[in-house]
Amino acid sequence: MATLSIHFDPAVIARLTSASGDDTVHVTLSLGEGGNSPQAASVLPQGPLAGLMRAGLLEPNTVLTFHQRRANRSGRAVVTADGQLIVDGHSSPFPSPSKAAEAVTGNVINGWTLWQTPEGLTLDRLRQKLDGE
């Protein structure tokens, strides 16, 4: 009898655990090649975060956060392997840091200066490192 093995990326698990009863979570399954260890399809990052990811300055599954004291709001997002951001409370990934930040704040905002890595660096600071500053 065939064995069915389903492996979820940690970003998917994070998204599922943060979903509320009103959220829709989309999961796509595909057939992989046989063998005991699953081989994840190679995904190349695209979009604004791609350069940071290719340079190793930002990894898939990195949790980005921000806290705005004055507005008393905070946000959390997970970087996907293809360079998008999965924001807590939203069912679709966002292609850019600013679009992801806007989804949380409700305002047009510079996500590069808002989102921070677990080490406390902004995406803008990572971009400066990439540019050699």
Task: State how far the Cα of 113 lies from the Cα of 125, in Å rounded to an integer.
Answer: 8
pLDDT digits (tens, 9 = 90+) for 93-124: 999 999 999 999 999 999 999 999 999 999 99
> Cα angle at 11 between 73 and 61, to 5 degrees?
85
Q: What was the pLDDT predicted at 2?
A: 65
Q: What was the pLDDT predicted at 64?
A: 97
Helix, strand, coil shares, percent, the chain, to 5: 25, 15, 60
Per-residue confidence band for 132, with pLDDT thresholds at 50, 70 and 90: confident
Mean pLDDT of 11-35: 64
Task: State how far the Cα of 45 lies from the Cα of 81, in Å rounded to an integer.
Answer: 6
DSSP symbol at 31: -
Q: What was the pLDDT predicted at 28?
A: 63
pTM as predicted: 0.69
| Residue 18: closest CA among 90, 106, 84, 118 | 90
C-alpha distances (whole Å) from 1 to each of 4, 38, 42, 95 are 10, 19, 29, 41
* pLDDT at 25 > cutoff 80: no
pLDDT digits (tens, 9 = 90+) for 41-68: 577 889 999 999 999 999 999 999 999 9
- State both tokens at 74: 């905070």
